[in-house]
Structure 1
Amino acid sequence: MTSLGVPEIEAGWALFLDLDGTLLDIAPTPDAVQVPPGLVPTLAAVAQRLDGAMAIVTGRPRETVDGLLAPLAPAGGFGHGAVLRDAAGRIGGAEAMPAPPQDWAERLHASIAAWPGVILERKPHGLALHFRAVPERQQAARAALEALLAGHGEDFVLLPAHMAYEIRPRAASKGRAVEALMRTDPFSGRMPVFVGDDVTDEEGMEAARRMGGFGLHVGRDFRRGPEEVRAWLARAAARLPQGGQHAHA
């Protein structure tokens, strides 16, 4: 156990990790995140020791995650689970997901032109407005996205995030990613454990609990934030036996 009672990673787990605010420190803008030295080798080692049963489940697009974690290309759920990749590298899920109408980004660009400091992030299946630099624009950002959702509530939903609001397909969720990957090798038969820090991560944690596992929250369980999560992973990389030397839970 860690000093705060977080269990150390076990060989029979299926580990699901959020990215921003969990593995990476929150940055002023989405493009400004830094990947700490040693994180990618640590993730590769943990994945190997779990026989590949480690996934990154994030709101970020797959291409962005692969760029940040290169040369690692882990299993995962991207765009809040809109796109899935299994441990064998097979990609799917996106065909069932709607893309935002083309004019939505154009309308948001027009809105934020008068709001210096608000950043529009475009994703394959969603849009986000970040107001970290100008928190006084929180309600304006929310209202701009709500206006887009009028008449589209069956297909898309508004989500709160870290100093941001985001639109995603209603059918996408981090819980969907956990459930889908747990039906595939090498995740199947293991105990799912979801680690995250945000409102959307609660869906992944709930899915893990439904399937016999549990969730860990950065802030509640890892009081020192991503730094403590990275240290926890590094201990597992050093302590767990090489993959293939255990029986599944």
Structure 2
Amino acid sequence: MTSLGVPEIEAGWALFLDLDGTLLDIAPRPDAVVVPAGLTGALAGAAARLGGALAVVSGRARATVDALLAPLTLPGGFGHGAELRDAAGRLGEPGAVPAPPPHWARALEAFAATRPGLLLECKPHGLALHYRAAPDHAAAARAAMAALAAEAARDFELLPAHMAFEIRPRVATKARAVAALMAAPPFRGRRPVFVGDDVTDEDGMAEARRRGGFGLHVGRDFAGDPAEVRAWLARAADARMTEAPLAQS
């Protein structure tokens, strides 16, 4: 048990980790995040202790996560679970999740161009409009995003994020990623633990609980500090665990 009351990572877990706000400190812009020295080594070491049962489940696109965590290519769910990759590197069916209509991005680009400080982030299966540098435009940003999402309300929904609003496919949830990965080795048969900090992580935590595991919230369990999460992973990477990683069938 850590000084914060969080259990240390156990060999029988399947660990699912959010990225921004969990492993990485939030930055003023999505492209300004800094990957701290030692993070990729801690992730690789913790994954080895867990027999490979460590995944990143992030709202970011798969290509972006891979670029940030290079040279690692971890299994996970990307775009909130829209893109899936298993431990063998196999990708989920690419056409299973809808992409936003192209005119949505064009409309939001025009909208943001008239309101300095707004930043549009285009993803393969979603759109995020960031207002961290323009908080006075938050209400207008939400209204613009809501109007677009309403055009295809059966397939898409609007979500709040860190100083942003995001449109994502309804089927793309972090629970989807947990369920898919838990169905195959090396995750199958382990106790799922989901670590996150945002509203979109609640789906992943709920799925972990449904499967006999639990969720850890950065704000509640790690004093709101991603550095505490990174230290927790580093201890797992460095520890001489008395229990060997569980064999998977």
**TM-score above 0.5:** yes
Contact kept in structure 1, 2:11 and 2:246, CA below 8 Å: yes
AA at the equivalent of 2:173: S
Task: Tell me what 2:177 maps to.
Answer: 177
Give the aligned partner of residue 206 of structure 1.
206
Q: CA separation in 1, counterparts of 2:169 and 2:207?
A: 18
Deviation track 1:56-95 (CA, whole Å, cap 9, x = no partner) reads 0000000000000001000000000001000000011432
CA contact under 8 A between 1:12 and 1:247: conserved in structure 2?
no
Query: In the TM superposition, what is the alpha-carbon distance from 1:244 to its structure 2 partner?
Result: 5.4
Is 1:17 the counterpart of 2:32? The answer is no
Q: Could you tell me how far apart the structure 2 residues matched to 1:158 and 1:209 are?
A: 25
Query: In the alignment, is the contact (CA less than 8 A) between 1:49 and 1:240 conserved in 2?
Result: no
Alignment correspondent of 2:160: 160
Give 1:151 deviation, angstroms: 2.8
**What does residue range 40-189 of structure 1 map to in structure 2 within 5 Å?**
40-189=40-189
Relative to structure 1, the CA distance from residue 3 to residue 54 in structure 2 (aligned partners, 3 Å threshold; closer, same or farther) is same
What letter is aligned with 1:101? P
**Residues 59, 78 of structure 1: 8 Å contact kept:** yes
Relative to the length of structure 2, the TM-score reads 0.97
> 1:225: Cα distance to partner?
1.0
C-alpha separation in 1, matches of 2:184 and 2:245? 20
Root mean square deviation, CA, Å = 1.4
1: CA distance, partners of 2:245 / 2:105: 50
Q: Is the 8 A contact 1:48 1:242 kept in 2?
A: no
Q: Secondary structure at the match of 1:5?
A: coil
Tell me if structure 1 keeps the 8 A contact 2:100–2:125.
yes
Aligned positions, number = 248
2:192 corresponds to which residue? 192
Q: Does structure 2 conserve the Cα–Cα contact (< 8 Å) formed by 1:51 and 1:243?
A: no
Could you list the runs of 4 or more consecutive aligned residues of structure 1 that deviate by over 3 angstroms after TM superposition?
Answer: 240-248
Overall identity of the aligned pairs, in %: 68
Q: Which amino acid aligns with 2:119?
A: I
Q: Deviations over 1:157-195 (max 9, x none)?
A: 101100000000001100110011000100000000000
Q: d(CA) in 1 for partners of 2:4 and 2:243?
A: 27
Classify the secondary structure of the residue corresponding to 2:151.
Answer: coil
Whole-angstrom distance in 1 between the partners of 2:221 and 2:120: 31
CA distance in 1, matches of 2:65, 2:240: 26
Compute the displacement of 1:54 (Å): 0.2
Contact kept? 2:195, 2:215, Cα under 8 Å: yes
Structure 2: how far apart are the matches of 1:215 and 1:85? 21
- Which consecutive unaligned segments of at least 5 residues does structure 1 have? none
- Name stretches of at least 5 consecutive residues in structure 2 with no aligned partner: none
